[in-house]
A and B are shown apart, each in its own frame.
Chain A
Amino acid sequence: MAKRTPLYARHAALGAKLVDFGGWDMPLHYGSQLDEHHQVRRASGLFDVSHMTIVDFAEPAPTRALLRYLLANDVARLYPGKALYTCMLNQAGGVIDDLIVYDRGEIGYRLVLNAATRDKDLAWITPIAERFGAAWRERDDLAMLAVQGPEALAKLEAVLGVDTVAAIRALKPFHALEANGLFIARTGYTGEDGVEIMPPAAQTADLWDRILAAGVAPCGLGARDTLRLEAGMNLYGSDMDETTTPLVSGLGWTVAWEPKDRDFIGRAALERQRAAGVPQTFVGLVLEERGVLRGHQHVYAGDREIGQITSGTFSPTLNRAIALARVEAGGGDRCQVDIRGKRLPARVVKPPFVRHGRALIA
């Protein structure tokens, strides 16, 4: 049977359409995915993202050495309260997973990994952590809620208190604090302001109820996907996987090349790829005609196939189809996409498409 979060009964009571997501029964939407998308862009939305995998490392010193070897970004850039987005690579430079690391000072480090990749991630990490003498445990006693949107923090004042929200407002993006037993991070997957909160499982339903009572709309993972795509954020398994490096996935910015003597898994392969010339580039596409872009559609420049869409959707904010695509490097700003045998013109753009409620694409 599929796994359920502490909020399963809440989702069912709200009439959610529940779907399997990485082995979890998760809400796709509560009626209208489009309405939920607009709620987050224009007001605020609440997501249950408790299926995400949370791992805590207790000892700062050996963990720091471990993570500097395990991850392509460098946790030496962190300080207590700061978060880092990074890829975890295999020796070939392929992406095993993308994740966020939080520096919790003396308490250690917290990693938030994808749900669908949990088993292989933990199998990968286990022997390496052992070698570095870094003890860890999975925090399946924690749930995770995302409260996102321009009104998210204002709405949370009634739930967390004015003082706590003032402390959250004082945080820069990608920073976290711990208050009243809650881990609260100014992170998200929507391109809007907001937080991700990791409450103990037993308190989660109560917290969920209070956030809804404060006027935040429940939103499903369907809207989360269209929001992240508009925000130009990659989805593991669609936009990158073990066969693609960060350099061909629009994630070169997450690779810390300096200091040069830091040995991390996948470094040699990435350096070889960089020296040989990165063959592909990761771009945004905007369809110029009516239709919907989807993953695996083929992209053409004239008669020549130059790549594939890795994830595509209809953008509710832009009211047109958008996509992320991996195409040959050095292409122009126009292409065509094969949709059911028809080649429709698309514009090549640099993501994101939407940020903080504002369209960035004309």
Chain B
Amino acid sequence: MSSIIPAELRYTESHEWVRANDDGTVTVGITDHAQHLLGDLVFVEIPEVGRTVTAAESCAVVESVKAASDVYSPLDGAIVEVNEALADKPELINEDPYGEGWIFRLKTTAALEGLLDAKAYEAIAIAEDEDDEGSLANPKLAD
């Protein structure tokens, strides 16, 4: 499975992407690789605007038909905007993970340099494909 990994974005090992905006905020979503692993998304629990988060803190949940998966904040900051459209259309994440499927916008003073670049993230995604499933959404059919 080959997934799209835009070169201009930054990434986390937990499969979030981060886009630097002109106003100093960053937009966060989950990667194409992650949405592939999760399958059809049916529910997204989005954080509240104004919430302060720290890096690696769980601040959203994406649920596919079979599994729930946490979305972690890539950086310290405060949530300034959330993608309300996901409430009615969680499938936006499947259809357009880097565009209309964005999850939240973060006001942060942290540097993006500590995050993975596209090449480093690609190595993780490929290793996971070879490892079959990786850490995300390993669905259980029969307990």
Q: Is the CB of B45 within 8 A of A291?
A: yes
Q: A313: which of B39, B65, B87, B138 is its contact (CB, 8 Å)?
A: B65
Q: Is A50 an interface residue (CB 8 A)?
A: no
Minimum Cβ distance to chain A for residue B43 (Å): 5
Segment at the interface with B among A29-37, A197-205, A275-283:
A29-37
Known contacts A32-B40, A33-B40, A290-B87, A237 near B65 by CB under 8 Å: no
Known contacts A29-B39, A291-B45, A340 near B61 by CB under 8 Å: yes
| Bound-state Cα–Cα, A235 to B87, Å | 30
**Chain B 81-106 per-residue mask, 1 if CB under 8 angstroms from chain A, else 0:** 00000010000000000000000000
Question: Whose C-beta in chain A lies nearest to the C-beta of B42?
Answer: A314
**How many of chain A's residues touch chain B, expressed as a range?**
20 to 34
| Bound-state Cα–Cα, A78 to B43, Å | 45
Segment at the interface with B among A83-91, A149-157, A164-172, A219-227:
A219-227
Q: Is A324 an interface residue (CB 8 A)?
A: no
Q: A33: which of B43, B65, B68 is its contact (CB, 8 Å)?
A: B65
Question: Whose C-beta in chain B lies nearest to the C-beta of A238?
Answer: B143
Q: Is A292 an interface residue (CB 8 A)?
A: yes
Interface residues of B in 84-143 (CB under 8 A from A): 87, 138-139, 141-143
Interface residues of A in 273-315 (CB under 8 A from B): 290-292, 294-295, 313-314
**Chain B 46-66 per-residue mask, 1 if CB under 8 angstroms from chain A, else 0:** 000000000000000101111
CB-defined contacts of B45 to chain A, threshold 8 Å: 291, 340
Quick one: which of B40, B45, B138, B139 has the most chain A CB within 10 A?
A: B40
Minimum Cβ distance to chain A for residue B95 (Å): 11
| Bound-state Cα–Cα, A116 to B140, Å | 13
Known contacts A222-B39, A290-B87, A292-B42, A235 near B142 by CB under 8 Å: yes
Q: Is the CB of A222 within 8 A of B65?
A: yes
Minimum Cβ distance to chain A for residue B71 (Å): 13
| Number of B interface residues in the complex (CB < 8 A) | 17
Q: Is the CB of A314 within 8 A of B43?
A: yes
CB-defined contacts of A114 to chain B, threshold 8 Å: 142
**Chain A 19-38 per-residue mask, 1 if CB under 8 angstroms from chain B, else 0:** 10110001011001110000
**Chain B 66-82 per-residue mask, 1 if CB under 8 angstroms from chain A, else 0:** 10100000000000000
CB-defined contacts of B141 to chain A, threshold 8 Å: 19, 21, 26, 28, 221-222, 225
Q: Is the CB of B65 within 8 A of A314?
A: yes
Minimum Cβ distance to chain A for residue B36 (Å): 9
Minimum Cβ distance to chain B for residue A188 (Å): 17
Quick one: which of B43, B45, B87, B141 has the most chain A CB within 10 A?
A: B141
| Bound-state Cα–Cα, A295 to B140, Å | 11
Known contacts A222-B39, A290-B87, A291-B45, A316 near B65 by CB under 8 Å: yes
Interface residues of A in 70-114 (CB under 8 A from B): 114
CB-defined contacts of A290 to chain B, threshold 8 Å: 43, 87
| Bound-state Cα–Cα, A236 to B39, Å | 24
Q: Is the CB of B139 within 8 A of A295?
A: no
Known contacts A34-B65, A290-B87, A313-B65, A236 near B142 by CB under 8 Å: yes
CB-defined contacts of A32 to chain B, threshold 8 Å: 39-40
CB-defined contacts of B66 to chain A, threshold 8 Å: 28, 33, 222, 225, 313
Interface residues of A in 328-344 (CB under 8 A from B): 340
CB-defined contacts of B143 to chain A, threshold 8 Å: 237-238, 295
Known contacts A34-B65, A314-B65, A292 near B43 by CB under 8 Å: yes
CB-defined contacts of A26 to chain B, threshold 8 Å: 141
A-B contact pairs, 5 of them (CB 8 A): A28-B139, A237-B142, A292-B63, A292-B68, A294-B68
Known pairs A28-B141, A32-B39, A290-B43 / 8 extra A-B pairs, C-beta < 8 Å? A19-B138, A19-B141, A28-B66, A33-B65, A235-B142, A237-B142, A238-B142, A292-B43
Query: Across chains A and B, which 5 residue pairs bring their CB atoms closest together, nearest first?
Result: A314-B42, A34-B40, A292-B63, A237-B143, A238-B143
Residues of B within 8 A of A (CB): 39-40, 42-43, 45, 61, 63-66, 68, 87, 138-139, 141-143
Residues of A within 8 A of B (CB): 17, 19, 21-22, 26, 28-29, 32-34, 114, 116, 221-222, 225-226, 235-238, 290-292, 294-295, 313-314, 316, 321, 340
